[in-house]
């Protein structure tokens, strides 16, 4: 399994990162992608990726950090051999709509950086799928990536896939009330899905409410297998292949 979205670069992991990484290895996590959100966490993501062979980093400015940060430092970080993507970037209209123009500006800069550098985008949207889609649409064919922790409906997922993007599925798929995510997983082919934890957030059942960690990505994979009525092995095989292709990791395919 590959956890394609983990914030191991946050405070929550400062005391037991090694132990978390060990548990991930014990649970057959083949790779982890550590996701940055601002300049400091981007740097920390790279440090962690340097410390563990099977861990990679993604660097970007999260929409929640656009007021404090800018994208100027990113192109330099993209030269690092363990950096495999740009993000987390995108739009978040749930927390605030007061800085929409700033959010859009910083997101567009990262889309253009992705076009230029050929790195995939790790995109965050919350109450903002349509606006994010509209910003990416002009670059269709020149950029790829994942709509991480996808929280919209099947129609929007199909639009994202048509743009050449993957759909990221996280812990909420295991929650009882996640009917929309259930429908989404049921109706979207495995070849378009990635599994993620978004650690330390959004822990799946049976750890809901606790700190999330990469080894728990198995609960997401198991739920997808259950919903799609396929074997767990099939889910792991296809989502790992998807992640390896998108992020160009794990050697030859
Ligand atoms: Ni995230």
- Residues 173-198 have pLDDT tens digits of 999 988 899 999 999 999 999 999 99
CA of 142 to the centre of ligand 1 (A): 24
- Among the listed residues 163, 122, 160, the one whose alpha carbon sits nearest the alpha carbon of residue 142: 163
The band of 68, judged by pLDDT with boundaries at 50, 70 and 90, is confident
Q: What percent of the residues of the chain are helix, what percent strand, and what percent coil, each to the nearest 5?
A: 45, 20, 35
Domain locations in the chain? 2-247
**Coil, strand or helix at 77:** helix
Is residue 234 a contact partner of residue 241, using CB atoms and an 8 Å limit?
Answer: no
What pLDDT is recorded for position 251?
A: 65
Instruction: Give the integer Cα–Cα distance in Å for 149 and 163.
Output: 17
The DSSP symbol for 134 reads H
CA of 5 to the centre of ligand 1 (A): 6
CA of 7 to the centre of ligand 1 (A): 7
CA of 227 to the centre of ligand 1 (A): 24
- Residues 85-140 have pLDDT tens digits of 999 999 999 888 889 999 999 999 999 999 999 999 999 999 999 999 999 999 99
Q: Widest CA span of the chain, in angstroms?
A: 46
Element (H, E) at 115: helix 100-117
What residues are paired with 80 via a beta bridge? none
CA of 44 to the centre of ligand 1 (A): 15
What pLDDT is recorded for position 211?
A: 98
pTM of this prediction? 0.96
Sheet containing 83-92: order of strands? 2-6, 31-35, 55-59, 83-92, 121-126, 145-147, 165-169, 193-195
**Residue 175 in tokens:** 């929650």
Instruction: Give the integer Cα–Cα distance in Å for 73 and 89.
Output: 14
Asked if the model's pLDDT at residue 252 lies above 80, the reply is: no
Sign of CA dihedral 190, 191, 192, 195: positive
Is residue 198 a contact partner of residue 171, using CB atoms and an 8 Å limit?
Answer: yes
What residues are paired with 92 via a beta bridge? 126
Instruction: Give the integer Cα–Cα distance in Å for 173 and 56.
Output: 25
**Coil, strand or helix at 123:** strand
Task: Choose the CATH number for 2-247 among 2.30.30.30, 3.20.20.140, 1.20.1050.10, 3.40.50.11540.
Answer: 3.20.20.140
What pLDDT is recorded for position 177?
A: 87
Instruction: Give the integer Cα–Cα distance in Å for 42 and 120.
Output: 16
What pLDDT is recorded for position 250?
A: 79
CA of 3 to the centre of ligand 1 (A): 12
What pLDDT is recorded for position 253?
A: 52
């Amino acid at each position: 399994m590959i956890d394609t979205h983990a914030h191991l670069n946050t405070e929550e992991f400062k005391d037991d990162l090694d132990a978390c990484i060990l548990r991930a290895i014990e649970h057959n996590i083949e790779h982890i992608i550590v996701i940055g959100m601002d300049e400091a966490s981007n740097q920390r993501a790279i440090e962690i990726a340097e410390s563990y062979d099977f861990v990679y980093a993604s660097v970007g400015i999260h929409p929640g950090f656009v007021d404090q940060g800018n994208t100027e430092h990113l192109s330099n970080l993209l030269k690092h051999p363990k950096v495999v993507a740009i993000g987390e970037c995108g739009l978040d209209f749930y927390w605030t709509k007061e800085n929409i123009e700033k959010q859009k500006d910083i997101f567009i800069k990262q889309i253009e950086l992705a076009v230029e550098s050929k790195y995939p985008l790790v995109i965050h949207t919350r109450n903002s799928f349509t606006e994010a889609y509209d910003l990416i649409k002009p670059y269709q064919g020149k950029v790829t990536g994942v709509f991480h922790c996808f929280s919209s409906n099947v129609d929007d997922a199909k639009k994202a896939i048509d743009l050449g993007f993957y759909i990221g599925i996280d812990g909420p798929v295991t929650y009882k009330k996640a009917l929309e995510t259930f429908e989404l997983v049921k109706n979207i082919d495995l070849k378009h899905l990635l599994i993620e934890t978004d650690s330390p957030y959004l822990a799946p059942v049976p750890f809901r409410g606790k700190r999330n960690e990469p080894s728990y990505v198995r609960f997401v994979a198991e739920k997808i297998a259950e919903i799609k009525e396929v074997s767990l092995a099939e889910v792991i095989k296809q989502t790992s292949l998807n992640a390896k292709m998108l992020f160009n990791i794990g050697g030859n395919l």
